[in-house]
Amino acid sequence: MFHRESGVLKTTYAADMALYPLPIADRARARWLEEFADTRMGEVFIWRLFNQVAIRPGVWGEQGDQELVARTLAADVPQVLDYLEGELPADGFLFGAVSVADVAIATFFRNAAFARFTVDVARWPKTAAFVGRVLGLEEFARLQPFEERCIRTPVAKHRDVLAELGYARDTYSQGVGCEVNLTKQDRFGLDHVLDVHWRLSGNEVFAALFDWEEAHRMSVAVPALAVQARGLSPVHALLHACVHRAAHVHSPYYVDGDPYLERNRLIWLYDIRLLSDALDTAHWRSFVDLARERGVSALCLDALHAAADLLGAAIPTEASSALAHPKRSEISAQLLLDSAWRGAWVEFRAQRGLAARSKYLRDLLFPNRQYMQRKYPKQPAWLLPYLYLRRVLEGVHRRLRHFR
């Protein structure tokens, strides 16, 4: 597994499967070509081509920028291919055995193919042949059925297709919420996990805090990623970070399959500190107004105080004072109480309609069989009815103990 940020290669493969060439000059060149692919090719083939031709119309229902596509095909793509034509070998791979440079370059042409682009063999013969050799490897060939199915399947049916292709639904969760984890183990024993979210939060209290249209309208450019990359506005980003922390007061996060309940996870608080440090006076005013309007003042104030106490985040006095005086009673503030029953009650009340509330109670009290088998791994399947009863009685006992 390659960790791009640190440039460290961690592998459980044999030594003869190393992804970087050993000679120092070749290793440096491999890193350069990988970086060229990740930045320049990613910008051209993903953001300027694939995003406009496939993602915007297929996922977001938007019209792609056809003028940008035309300019990209006329100028940017030929520039990239001219460079590659002078770097790639006439046969074989860049450094003898397949390396990270070969993979990094060739994969972008797979995305380009989904945008109906192919390399002109007459104009760039070495590049066309190289891409064919790399993408023809067994490792890539095994991915093609998965790619073909997903690219031709409506987004709403992707989960069913992934299950058919061998991805098993995660059984850590009880089925309550707006997300699902799908896992598939490869032939090396490595797990590939897809964490799919279709709303802002798995907690119904925050799921509609702001929608896609609002987030997109207020989004900001992130040029460090790519020319067309966009992210949440500073105000929305901090608001999301604060409520995400609150959502995990009673909802565990998982590390290697083990559940943890901890609202002050360091990485979350550090995000809050960095985001709050980046706000100017106008941003702080907008953040406070939005938090009070959406009924999450107490949650945001608690998160900001935690970041200030533990990591030294600087919170303006005016912002703290305003957040301490919400516009109205905030049911979300009850999530900060150390009571799982209280958290469940708040989320139950947030469900919209009788059908949604009934489903929530069913999933909470009687989660799926896989969840129960994982929770009680040493118990035989025929004891499942008893285990459901045990689950309910244990919950009632904890509730009664709480009132003593």
Any domain includes 146: no
Any domain includes 270: yes
Domain count for the chain: 4
Tell me how far the alpha carbon of residue 8 is from its chain's centroid.
22
Residues 189 and 261 in one domain: no
b/e 106-139 (16+ beta carbons within 10 angstroms → b): bbbbbbbbbbebebeeeebebbbbbbebbbeeee
Tell me what pLDDT residue 307 has: 95
Any domain includes 148: no
Tokens 């460079």 sit on residue: 83
**Cα 310 to Cα 269: distance, rounded to the nearest angstrom:** 8
Tokens 């959406």 sit on residue: 294
Residue 61's CATH number: 1.20.1050.10
The CA-to-CA distance between both ends of the chain, in Å, stands at: 52
Positions in the chain whose pLDDT score sits under 50: 1-16, 174-176, 400, 402-404
Any domain includes 350: no
Any domain includes 353: no
**Cα 254 to Cα 326: distance, rounded to the nearest angstrom:** 33
Residues 278 and 373 in one domain: no
Residues 291 and 401 in one domain: no
Residues 225 and 184 in one domain: no
Residues 242 and 135 in one domain: no
Range of the domain at 166: 155-197
**Cβ contacts of 323-329, under 8 Å, gap ≥ 24:** 323/288, 323/291, 323/292, 323/297, 323/298, 324/297, 325/297, 326/292, 326/295, 326/297, 326/298, 327/292, 327/293, 327/295, 327/297, 328/295
Any domain includes 232: yes
**Cα 54 to Cα 62: distance, rounded to the nearest angstrom:** 10
Tell me what pLDDT residue 5 has: 31
Tell me what pLDDT residue 233 has: 95
Where are any strands of DSSP class E within 104-188?
Answer: 168-169, 179-185
Tell me what pLDDT residue 226 has: 65
Beta-bridge mates of residue 197 = 179
